[in-house]
Structure formats: C-alpha cells, structure tokens
Structure 1
Amino acid sequence: MEKITIGIIDDHKIVRHGLMELLHKLNNYKVVHEFDSGAGFLEALPLTPMPDLLILDYSMPGTNGIEVLKALGDNVVDYKVLLLTQHFDEDIINAAYHHGARGFLHKNCTAQELKTAIDNIIKIGYTNVVDILKRIRNYDPEAVKKPEVVLTGRELEFLKLVCDEKEYTYEQMADIMKLSVKSIESYRTALFDKFGIKSKVGLVLFSHKYRLTEPFL
C-alpha cells in the first residue's frame, strides 16, 4: 500500500521529530516536508511533492496556525490541514473551521487518535465530524432561511463539485466543467465574496447549513 505523505509545520524541533517518529511507527505514513515556522512554510509554496496532509501547529511565533490557514485560502491548491492545539479554545476552533482546517487535535492526543484523524481526513475529507455537525446545526431549522443571494447555474455546478464526496481538486473541476483553472478560481472567489466565506471547507459547511446541494438537500 502506498504511504500517505505528510507535511509538519511546528516551531518546536522536538515536537516535529516526535511526530515523525510516531508516524513512522504507525507504518502507513511518510513525512516528506517539515517546517519550523508558518512563514517558512508559506514561502515554500507550492510544495513538491504535494503532501496528502499537513499537520499544523496553532501556536507559533510570527505567523500562527490560523494565519497560515487564511493564507492557504488564497491558494488554488487545496491543502488538507489537521490543526494541532494545546487549548480547545472555542474561538480558535471556529476560526480553524472557517478558514479551511479539516479537523483539529489536542497535542496530548494518543497515537490512535492521531491515526484516526489522519485516516478520516484522507478517506472522507474531515475528522471531528460530529463536532462539525453540532456547530453547523446549532440553529433553529424553522428559523433558517436560504441566503437571498442567487447562484448562477455555473456557480451552482461548481458548488456541487466542491461538495462531492469524491473530493475533486480545482484542476479536476476545471476538466469536468470544461473550463480553465482560472475560471474555476473566479467562481470560487465569487462565492467567497457573496457568502463571506474564506475556504473550500467553508463552502461545504455553508451548503450543508442551507441545504443548497446534494447530499444536503
């Protein structure tokens, strides 16, 4: 079986090396990138080879994990990010979801919890699914109305691909819609602007909340 490739961004060398050793012992993962700062990681983009997953520390000097996620939101390439944090702060978790994190873990997690989180993100796109659903369902369904902004046919087609369980890349969406990647990026930007969203994950959660596309209808 081909190993899942990982990138680690953490300012503590002992944490990076500890994660690398743990992932090596779990046997199905290979660390292909490591960075000691958020700024250093962003300067290195785009990464080659493209990792299947990034493990990102929240608390770093200079550019913290949320700021890294914000910067990644401007990328056409959709990097899957698992955020590590020492504090389950409500604002941090909400900001992480808003800006595109696929899940979060406490730094005191067990090896099995780390493995489960990585495998969930690779297989279904997210981890902490129950937590995500609790947050986006924290409203009165009778009181929620669909947004007044009207989607064009092409925007809706793009949003359906974003929400598809096959987890299409923007390049694959361009092939399916018979458009350039720049055109796909323009649809993404238009939806971000219309709905005040900053990430691809945010679009999925928004579509779920307002039941805009399959499988949420």
Structure 2
Amino acid sequence: MRADDVRVIIADDHPMYRQGLRALLEALGVGVAAEAVNGPESVRLAAELQPDVVVMDLHMPGGNGIEATRTITRTSPRIGVLVLTMFRDDDSVFAAMRAGARGYLLKESGAEEIARAVRAVAAGEAIYGPEIARRVLTYFADMPDPKQTAFPELTDREREVLQLIAQGRSNQDIAQTLFLSPKTVRNHVSNIFMKLHVADRAQAIVLAREAGLGGM
C-alpha cells in the first residue's frame, strides 16, 4: 500500500506530540483523518471514519488505549492498530497484543520507522520495534513446553507411559518400547490412574490429549 493511500487517526492525549506526529506523517504522504485525545474518542472516530490505521497511545485519561484497541479490532477488524507509546514493559506489550494491536513501537522510534510501521500495519502486516521484537521472541522462547509441565505429580517415567497411553498403545507395546517388563508397566499405569484420579484408560487418554500429550 502506497503512503498516500493510507488514512490514519492519531490517538494521544499530548497536543504537541499529536501535532508533531501529524506533521511527520503528512510530510511523508500519509493522510491524517482525525485526532483523538482518549480511548473512547478514538473508538468513536474509528467507527465513523473507518481509517486504515489508528496510531494509539496506551495511557490516556478518560479511557486507556488497551480497551480502545480491543473495541476497534473487534468492531472494525479491517482497521489496524499501531501502538505508539513510551511504555516498554512486558505487561503493556502483551496486553496490547492480546487486545489485537498489529504493531508496537516506542515513541523514541525514528520518523522513517514510524512511517514504515504505519504502512505495514495498513497492509495487514504485524510489526514491532527492534527492542519489542526481541522481547516478544524471548518471551515465547522461554515459555515452558506444556508437555513437560503437564501433570507435575507424575514421575518422568510415568509421563512417558502416559504419552504412549495417549497414543492408544497397549501395555505390551509400551513394555517393548520402553524396555520394561509387562508387570512394571502395569504398576506404572495403576500409579498414573491413581494420581490423575481417573477410573480407566479412556479417561486417562482424554486428560492426556487435552494436555497436549499423545503426539507421535
């Protein structure tokens, strides 16, 4: 999407910042349809004007940017929200992402970076500043594997057995796979049933598959 095809609404409670951002965007050929001073006003203007992008500050009096973002993305999915804020903490970043923001930049970003992000969000892309992108990648890289954290009451061996149960394997198959005796497998299965408070194999399979176990 060309810059001069993009229409935006600027939502920020600081008049001087709004004026500076408007001048920056218009100098680069991006049309500014309106300015909002708080969340509710940005929601109203977005519904009325249907811009391509709302450039949203997060913390504004009279209604914050997170709730406004959530409302705009729910009621007008074609409108992209680009958060432009001074807040770099994880709570703000991930709250904005959960609310549906397509982009997140810090106010210290350069003019070209902001303009590029506006065009990208208008085109349906997701874009984050370098620091925010590193934060997001680190967050997901550090997320524990649900298969490893499911059923902490089980031993590692019992979790291996449950994984195979969830695949529909018989006790004999499990014994051969894990190089265990059939009796040892039966003991593990009994312990699993007791710890998970299930009555039979079918209930254990349901619980295990809901927790993400059972993949080949």
Q: TM-score range by the shorter chain?
A: 0.5 to 0.7
**Alpha-carbon shift at residue 69 of structure 1 (Å):** 1.6
Distance change in 2, residues 1:138/1:61 (3 Å) = same
Distance change in 2, residues 1:115/1:137 (3 Å) = same
Matches within 5 A, 1:14-25: 14-25=16-27
Gaps of 5+ in 1: 146-209, 211-217
Q: Indicate if the aligned counterparts of 2:6 and 2:119 stay in contact, CA closer than 8 A.
A: no
Q: Indicate if the aligned counterparts of 2:47 and 2:76 stay in contact, CA closer than 8 A.
A: no
Residue 147 of structure 2 aligns to a residue whose secondary structure is coil
**Alpha-carbon shift at residue 42 of structure 1 (Å):** 2.3
Distance change in 2, residues 1:43/1:108 (3 Å) = same
Partner amino acid for 2:119?
D
**Alpha-carbon shift at residue 3 of structure 1 (Å):** 2.4
2: CA distance, partners of 1:113 / 1:124: 17
Distance change in 2, residues 1:73/1:20 (3 Å) = closer
Whether 1:110 and 2:110 are equivalent positions in the alignment is yes
Task: State TM-score, norm by structure 2.
Answer: 0.58
Residue 61 of structure 1 aligns to a residue whose secondary structure is coil
Matches within 5 A, 1:112-131: 112-128=112-128, 130-131=133-134
Partner of 1:69: 69
Partner amino acid for 1:32?
A
Partner of 1:139: 143
> Which structure has the greater CA radius of gyration?
2
Distance change in 2, residues 1:106/1:143 (3 Å) = same
**Alpha-carbon shift at residue 95 of structure 1 (Å):** 0.3
Matches within 5 A, 1:5-16: 5-16=7-18
Distance change in 2, residues 1:79/1:135 (3 Å) = farther
2: CA distance, partners of 1:104 / 1:97: 8
Partner of 2:79: 79
Partner of 2:206: none
Residue 83 of structure 2 aligns to a residue whose secondary structure is strand
Q: Deviations over 1:12-33 (max 9, x none)?
A: 1111111110011223x11112
2: CA distance, partners of 1:22 / 1:39: 25
Aligned residues: 144
Partner amino acid for 2:5?
K
Residue 120 of structure 2 aligns to a residue whose secondary structure is helix
> Which structure shows the bigger proportion of residues in helix conformation?
2
The root-mean-square deviation of aligned C-alpha atoms, in Å, is 2.6
Partner of 1:162: none
2: CA distance, partners of 1:77 / 1:93: 20
The share of aligned pairs that are identical, in percent, is: 28
**Alpha-carbon shift at residue 139 of structure 1 (Å):** 3.2
Whether 1:42 and 2:43 are equivalent positions in the alignment is yes
Distance change in 2, residues 1:62/1:142 (3 Å) = closer
**Alpha-carbon shift at residue 100 of structure 1 (Å):** 0.3
Partner amino acid for 1:109?
S
Residue 123 of structure 2 aligns to a residue whose secondary structure is helix
Partner of 2:91: 91
Partner amino acid for 1:14?
M
Partner amino acid for 2:56?
L
Residue 101 of structure 1 aligns to a residue whose secondary structure is coil
Q: Indicate if the aligned counterparts of 2:24 and 2:111 stay in contact, CA closer than 8 A.
A: yes
Gaps of 5+ in 2: 150-211
Residue 47 of structure 1 aligns to a residue whose secondary structure is helix
